[in-house]
Amino acid sequence: MILRYALIEDEPPARARLKRLLAELSPGSVCLAEAGDGEAGLALLQAHRPDLLLLDIEFPPEGAFGLLRAARAANLPLPPIAFVTAYDQHALEAFRWAACDYLLKPVLRERLAETLRRIGPRPEPPADLGVLLQALEAARRQEAPERFTVLVKGRLRVLAWSEVSHLRTENRLLFVHTPEGRFILDRTLDELEGLLAPRFLRTHRGAMVKLEAVLELAPDPGGTGELVLRDGARVPVARERMAELRARLGDA
């Protein structure tokens, strides 16, 4: 497969480096078009359907997110995107929630090679743009976005916290539980504890529950306990979490 890609980056040296790396990693690859600002970038998206778009975050007038909003308003189909950015805490957090690929400047050859391997012979569709833009706004507010993306059998799936009853860790993996099943989320409970409060409450080092999903609390004589959820699931409660849980359930 010959990779057909496009670049939107306002720094000519950065564009030249990416093209050189792509020529080394994917011999015969073709740069369909390149742009250095949002206006030219929008024209690029209107005229071309590349296998991969390498998209810088900051360029005039409104950067990548302004360009993507304009593309969404124009109902333009988007190719798979790899964002290229200097460290930007909010953008990186949004990329994680939306399962977007990103490359940190200066782009490393090995990291770009990983991106190309993920593109593969049949490029996957890009992450849901609405999820990404919502995740960016939530990251700026230091909150978890209402919708987020998980990977299921190589495909991206959008979930919402309104669907999630609880989260459990198992064999160092974190699972979010919904009526349709459980899904692996590339996060930790330590990260999520503050982001999901007060809607969700940590009950155990390996568990967190949505309070409105709780049906009853079954305390044990030793000070620990178990929550029974409305979907029938059972979630452990650690001794040190019991007092806060009782208080919160009393308020619910």
Residue 217 amino acid letter: L
Give the start-to-end residue ranges of the domains of the chain: 4-139, 164-251
DSSP state of 162: G
Specify the CATH architecture of the domain 164-251: Beta Barrel (2.40)
Per-residue pLDDT 10s for the chain (252 aa) are: 789 999 999 999 999 999 999 999 999 999 999 999 999 999 999 999 999 999 999 999 999 999 999 999 999 988 889 999 987 889 999 999 998 889 999 999 999 999 998 876 554 555 678 899 999 999 989 899 999 999 888 788 999 999 999 999 999 999 999 999 999 999 999 999 999 999 999 999 999 999 999 999 999 988 999 999 999 999 999 999 999 999 999 865
Give pLDDT, residue 100. Answer: 87
**Residue recorded with tokens 């057909």:** 4
Strand order in the sheet with 234-237: 214-219, 225-229, 234-237
Give pLDDT, residue 251. Answer: 63
Give pLDDT, residue 121. Answer: 55
Give pLDDT, residue 130. Answer: 87
- State how far the Cα of 102 lies from the Cα of 127, in Å rounded to an integer: 12
Tokens of 20: 């050189």
Strand order in the sheet with 200-204: 181-184, 173-178, 166-170, 207-210, 200-204
From 79, 99, 122, 105, select the one nearest 183 (Cα to Cα). Answer: 99
Distance from the first to the final alpha carbon of the chain: 57
To the nearest 10°, report the CA torsion of 193, 197, 200, 202: 40
Domain 4-139 has what CATH class? alpha beta
- State how far the Cα of 192 lies from the Cα of 201, in Å rounded to an integer: 10
**For residue 123, with 0-12 CB atoms within 10 Å meaning exposed, 13-18 middle and 19 or more buried, which class applies?**
middle
SS3 25: helix
- State how far the Cα of 100 lies from the Cα of 169, in Å rounded to an integer: 23
Give pLDDT, residue 125. Answer: 53
Give pLDDT, residue 1. Answer: 75
Give pLDDT, residue 137. Answer: 92
SS3 21: helix
**For residue 227, with 0-12 CB atoms within 10 Å meaning exposed, 13-18 middle and 19 or more buried, which class applies?**
buried
Give pLDDT, residue 175. Answer: 98
Tell me whether domains 4-139 and 164-251 share a fold. Answer: no
